[in-house]
Amino acid sequence: MAISAVRPRARAAFLNRSQWMGILFLAFGVAILLFFGRGLEPGQQAKFGLNPGWVSQAIPIPDLVLPVQPTIYILGSIALLLGGWQLARGFRSADAVLGVIAICFVVAFLTWAARGKSFNLVGMLGSSLVRATPIALAALCGVVSERSGVVNIAIEGIMLLSAQAAVIVATITKNLYLGLGAGILTGAIFAAIHAVMAIKFKVNQIVSATAINIFATGATSFISARFLEKNIDRLNNSGTFPVIPIPLLSKIPLLGPIFFENGIIVYLMLILTVVVHIVLFYTPWGLRTRAVGEHPRAADTLGINVFLVRYVNVILGGMIAGIGGAYFTIGSVGRFDEIMTAGKGFIGLAAMIFGKWNPFGAFASSLIFGFADSLQIKLQILRVPIPSEFLLMAPYLVTMIVLAGVVGRAVPPAADGEPYEKQ
Amino acid sequence: MMPALAVFTGLVIGAIVIAITDANVIAAYGNFLRAPGTALAATWRSIASAYGALFYGSLGSPKELYQAIQIYRSTGDNAPFLRAIWPITESLVASTPYIFGGLAVALGFRCGLFNIGAEGQIGIGALAAAWVGYSITGLPQFIHLPLAILAGALGGAFWAAIPGYLKAKTGAHEVVNTIMMNWISFRLSDWLLNGPMKAPGYRPITPNIEPTATLPRFFPSPIRFHAGFFLALAIAGLVYWFLFKTTLGFEIRTVGANPRAARYAGMSITRNIILAMVFSGALAGLAGASQVLGVDHWVGQGFSAGYGFDSIALALLGKSHPGGVVLASLLFGTLRSGATRMQSLAGIPIDIISIIQGLVIMFVAAPATIRWLYRIRVERIEEVVLTRGWGK
């Protein structure tokens, strides 16, 4: 694409990227020792619960008990050693090492936060997956749509509209599955509007999506104020999908309670991630989609209907986002609140970019955001001396760091965001 | 003519939304076949009462104004006159932050940047202005007021500089980053208003600013019309001059219109992107400052209240031209102050304005829809680059 020439040229820096990484690693090591290693009482222990707090099918296993001081010293030293090695010799894959160090940092932080207390690790990982669900679905919507070359930042608004539609229909019909259907349908409709704007009218895709986002905020708040507030029981009180433990699989310790004791929307998310991966990379439709996203002209020449592929993908993406929207209401709290998506659609886009436009990558990075989200709640319960407002900023900060490409740079589909003009 | 048709169409669809969500109208259509006249009349009543309240609330009534002038002439009593001009001054008050916000987004557009973060920048600008306004005492107004205004601009500029820097240096898309900055600013202001900047008492608000930091008002108390409006007009002129009469403005526009040409001409893309974001943020910060120093005199939670998102509609409607932005701001300020009135008189939620705005953006961005709707023949229009894909 023409714009690629425009990226600011890297100046000859006094430190190269590899050296910067080394300094970053060292900084992590110092931070671990400085923030968490000071003022510890010797012999203090942190207890990590490996059985969920809820009634679970899983076979119980003993809890993990870590001595706080040695654990933090060891983790800090690992980070310092890796940093020193990076500066002296350099790792082949600095990104992977950064991942290891980030995990060291998080573990050290948790050990520090849970010192002298007990902390339910499996419970938190389980809630990470649940909290990652709307983000992962948003990211998946982005993957499906952008692989065909249409940027969709309307996911936030689409999810908001779907969330409201789902709860209203589910409350009126007293059927959660019809509510889910309504959410999916709403997602399809608004994605279709975006598709028509982007593909037929060749509107700037960011602008069209922003219009949908503003419309969604206004429309959902309008409907809330006009109808829902007065008739909460008749319109805005649906209940939520029950937790369905999967037979046998849910008995596995650790993994069982995290993955196999969830509501239907979490399972749908997991299934869709796999399905989209298979469709995208192992079917003719997926090949067409990627061809259209990378080089629509060539695809057109080969007889692929560029417009059709884009319409179908954007609308399918909208349906996936509709499931994500339904999660907010009938999947988690059973009622609609204004602006309840709180930027999750945009965080999903960051997860998509971090996941390099791959379904599994997008899922994995959604888990990071879900983890950050559930961590801040756990930390409030543990009474960590950090104001809760700052903990609430964590997912947004992580998004910005991810987008800044600290961890590897991703390349979007070549024709992403470009309207196609048939010749 | 296109923007006018877009606004008109938005208002018409807004009217339809008002009618079909009105319980009385729905009931009347229940027996449409038996009494079609009743149903149509109910529809008309619903729309007329809503939009009547909207226009009365935003512009006042000419008859009342005329009578008030008569009373003033004959008796010298100016109270009816002030009552009569109150709605229109409220519209101007609502337009003031819109002008700044619209200019902020428009300046970004001119550089090919989509600053969705005006919302957060307005909030931070307001907090900065309020902080200078209440924490410094004993300064004369001609120093204190400019200082507070400057603080607002700097606060907004700082908040926008971060995504600007990230865009220029790493290619991280400003749309997502400015939205993340919005959320961070909301959390930050929650913390500030409950902690360091909290006024004594139980409400999470800042203390009142010193009288020396307030923007002067022109009429006695209920009328809040203040000097910020004229400051906004002056800044609009300044932005026009900057964009179209200075070298830096030319560079920023060139980077927006054709980055490749700008690069070959030896302009620094990085520098211009960062500068455009900084100026854009400063304008948004001024929106927050003018609202605090001119109208509220303190900052509470949910301060920016959608001004930032509305600004996007304004910039698009004004075609990213300062003059157009001012006109669009006057229109939306009028709509907004009228909608407040409509909410209290006709019970229509104020969010109808967001619905209309979303539609207007769509129609302005896709002139083809308007052309299709009104069967207008196609004309070649110069394309304005608004924003680009994922920082490629």
The string of DSSP codes covering A40-98 is PPTT-EEEEE-S-SS--SSPP-PPEEEEHHHHHHHHHHHHHHHHHHHHHT--S-HHHHH
The predicted pLDDT at position B222 comes to 80
Q: Please list, in sequence order, all residues whose beta carbon lies within 8 angstroms of the beta carbon of residue B152, skipping any fewer than 6 positions away.
A: B125, B126, B128, B129, B285, B286, B288, B289, B290, B292, B293
Q: Which of A218, A223, A346 faces B358 most closely, judged by CB atoms?
A: A218
Asked casually if ipTM beats, i.e. exceeds, 0.90, the reply is no
Distance CA A208, CA B363 (A): 9
Q: Nearest CA to A205 among B173, B355, B117, B171? A: B173
Most confident of A45-54, B214-223, B361-370: B214-223
The predicted pLDDT at position A3 comes to 40
Buried b (16+ CB within 10 A) or exposed e, B270-283: bebbbbbbbbbbbb
By the CB < 8 Å criterion, does B77 face chain A? no
The predicted pLDDT at position A162 comes to 94
Best of B361, B373, B378, B387 to disrupt the A interface (most A CBs within 10 Å) is B361
By the CB < 8 Å criterion, does B99 face chain A? no
By the CB < 8 Å criterion, does B26 face chain A? no
Distance CA B189, CA A270 (A): 37
Quote the minimal CA–CA distance from A289 to chain B in Å: 18
CA–CA distances in Å: residue A212 to residues A154, A160, A259, A303, A419:
6, 11, 34, 32, 18
The predicted pLDDT at position A73 comes to 84
Q: Nearest CA to B315 among B284, B294, B339, B285? A: B284
Distance CA B176, CA A403 (A): 9
Q: Please list, in sequence order, all residues whose beta carbon lies within 8 angstroms of the beta carbon of residue A47, skipping any fewer than 6 positions away.
A: A63, A64, A65, A114, A117, A118, A119
Which pTM was predicted?
0.83
B372 to chain A: closest CA residue: A201
Two tokens at B85? 């001009």
pLDDT tens, position by position, B332-359: 888 888 888 888 877 788 888 888 888 8
By the CB < 8 Å criterion, does B116 face chain A? yes
pLDDT tens, position by position, B253-269: 988 888 888 888 888 88
The predicted pLDDT at position A82 comes to 86
B349 to chain A: closest CA residue: A222
- In this prediction, residue B388 has a pLDDT band, given cuts at 50, 70 and 90, of low
Q: Which of A392, A403, A418 faces B177 most closely, judged by CB atoms?
A: A403
Residue with token string 């990104």: A95
Q: Which of A215, A349, A392 faces B187 most closely, judged by CB atoms?
A: A392
Quote the minimal CA–CA distance from A353 to chain B in Å: 9
Inter-chain residue contact B351 with A350, CB threshold 8 Å: no
Residue with token string 């430190």: A15
By the CB < 8 Å criterion, does B392 face chain A? yes
Inter-chain residue contact B175 with A350, CB threshold 8 Å: no
Q: What angle do CA B198, A113, A257 make, to 5 degrees?
A: 115
A419 to chain B: closest CA residue: B389
Largest separation between any pair of C-alpha atoms in chain A = 75
pLDDT in tens, chain A (423 residues): 334 444 444 444 566 777 777 888 888 888 888 877 777 777 777 777 777 766 676 777 777 777 877 888 888 888 888 888 888 887 777 777 777 888 888 888 888 877 777 778 888 888 889 899 999 999 999 999 999 989 888 999 999 999 999 999 998 888 889 999 999 999 999 999 999 988 888 888 888 888 888 889 888 988 888 888 887 777 788 888 888 888 888 777 777 778 888 888 999 999 999 999 999 999 999 999 999 888 888 888 888 888 999 999 999 999 999 999 999 998 888 888 888 888 888 889 888 887 888 999 899 889 888 888 888 777 777 777 777 788 788 778 877 877 776 554 567 788 887 788 776
By the CB < 8 Å criterion, does B373 face chain A? no
Instruction: Give the H or E element holding residue B42.
Output: helix B36-59
Average pLDDT over all residues of chain B:
85
By the CB < 8 Å criterion, does B260 face chain A? yes
Region B16-24 average pLDDT: 79
B368 to chain A: closest CA residue: A201
Quote the minimal CA–CA distance from B232 to chain A in Å: 25
Residue pair B248/B260 in contact by the 8 Å Cβ criterion: no
By the CB < 8 Å criterion, does B142 face chain A? no
Best of A204, A373, A398, A420 to disrupt the B interface (most B CBs within 10 Å) is A204
